[in-house]
Amino acid sequence: MLPRRAQRDRTSRIRLASSFFKGDERDDGGPAWSPVVVGLGNPGRSYERTRHNAGYLVADELAKRHHGSWRKRKKAEAAPISVSLTSATLLKPTTFMNDSGSAVSGYRPEDLIVVHDDLDLEAGAVRIKVGGGAGGHNGLRSIIGRLGNDFIRVRIGIGRPPVGVTAIDYVLSRMDPVVKDAIPRAADAVEFVVEYGPETAMNRFNVRA
């Protein structure tokens, strides 16, 4: 049995998740659900295969699956795609992790699906979450500082650093095979969120094996 406060927090997150996927039109007449999948990472070849770039790799995987073509913008690379008849935008901020928020500042937080590495999950785990704090992740902290925390997250576990290794050195080191193997599963999770909404996706992907 969860403590009463934890039960309230979980109920609040579920209600928030449900609100993302309503079929109503927005005030400007546009569609209620215009997902923007933000893969967090750092630009440059030296960062390509690091743990901190797991979000970038998921965005690349989705671009491959759905024939997305990357286009350079001022603070990001973007690729329009279609997932199960839903138009979506893939976004890779090119501002470096600590300033990710400036690359998404023009979007509605409820449209964002932010994909990122997570030290608090075991390596290779994939989980979906709505809301919450930054948990020490500078990319999330930057986005929350700009837009608040009312967005969906797809979290890719990278595990904790071994004794004697700092968190910074750990996240900027080459990712383990088990994390690399989780990239397609995280892309599956994003597709599931786009097609069925975050609450249904959480019920599927947040079940422990």
Q: How many domains does the chain have?
A: 1
What pTM, to 2 d.p., does this model score?
0.87
pLDDT band at 209 (very low <50, low <70, confident <90, very high): low
112-168 tens-digit pLDDT: 999 999 999 999 999 999 999 999 999 999 999 999 999 999 999 999 999 999 999
Task: Answer whether residue 39 is part of any domain.
Answer: yes
Q: Band of the pLDDT at 15, cuts 50, 70, 90? A: low
Yes or no: say if 193 and 18 are a contact pair by the CB < 8 Å rule. no
CATH number at residue 190: 3.40.50.1470
Q: Does residue 52 carry a catalytic annotation? A: yes
pLDDT digits (tens, 9 = 90+) for 84-109: 889 999 999 999 999 999 999 999 99
Q: Are strands 36-39 and 112-118 parallel, antiparallel or unpaired?
A: parallel
174: DSSP letter: B
Give the pLDDT of residue 30.
52
Q: How many CB atoms lie within 10 A of CB 174?
A: 10
Given this model, what pLDDT does residue 144 score?
98
Q: Which domain holds residue 86?
A: 33-205
The answer to whether residue 69 is domain-embedded is yes
- Catalytic residue selected from 52, 66, 116, 137: 52
Residue 18 within a domain: no
Bridge-based pairing state of the strands 126-130 and 112-118: unpaired
Structural domain contains residue 64: yes
